[in-house]
Amino acid sequence: MKKYSIAIIESWLRSQQSPSEPILEVLEIRFRADAAQTFKPALGAIDDLQHLEQLHRAAVSVNNVADFRRALESNDVEGFLERRKRAMPQYLEAYPRAKTKTS
C-alpha cells in the first residue's frame, strides 16, 4: 500500500496540483467537504512526501475528523495509527454493538 499511496501523490505532483489533494479528496468522500477544507492550509504546508503518505493512510483509516486532526498534529503518524489499531479490539470488547453484524 505504501508504494500505491506514494504513486498517487507523485501523480498529483506531475499534474501540478497540490500533493495534499488526494488526502483532501479522501476526507471529502469519507466526511464532509467543509471538514476537509479546514485541513487544506496545514496539509499544503507539508512538503515531505513520506509524511503526506502517512497522512493519506490516516485519512483512509480514521473513524472521524477529530482522529485525523490528532494524526495531523502528531509527530509520529505511524505510531498514532499503530496505537489506534491496537486499541480497536479493546473497544470492540467494551462495546459489542460496534462489531459488524453478520446475518
- Which pLDDT value is given to residue 97? 54
- Per-residue model confidence as pLDDT tens digits over 9-58: 777 666 666 788 899 999 999 998 898 999 999 999 998 889 999 999 99
- Which pLDDT value is given to residue 39? 94
Domain that holds residue 34: 2-98
- Which pLDDT value is given to residue 103? 40
Q: Using CA atoms of 39, 15, 13, 58 in order, give the dihedral in degrees to the nearest 10.
A: 40
Mean pLDDT of the chain: 79
Could you tell me the pTM of the whole model?
A: 0.67
* Residue 60 domain flag: yes
* Residue 91 domain flag: yes
Q: What does the angle CA 82 – CA 1 – CA 12 come to, to the nearest 5 degrees?
A: 115
* Residue 48 domain flag: yes
| Number of domains, the chain | 1
* Residue 103 domain flag: no
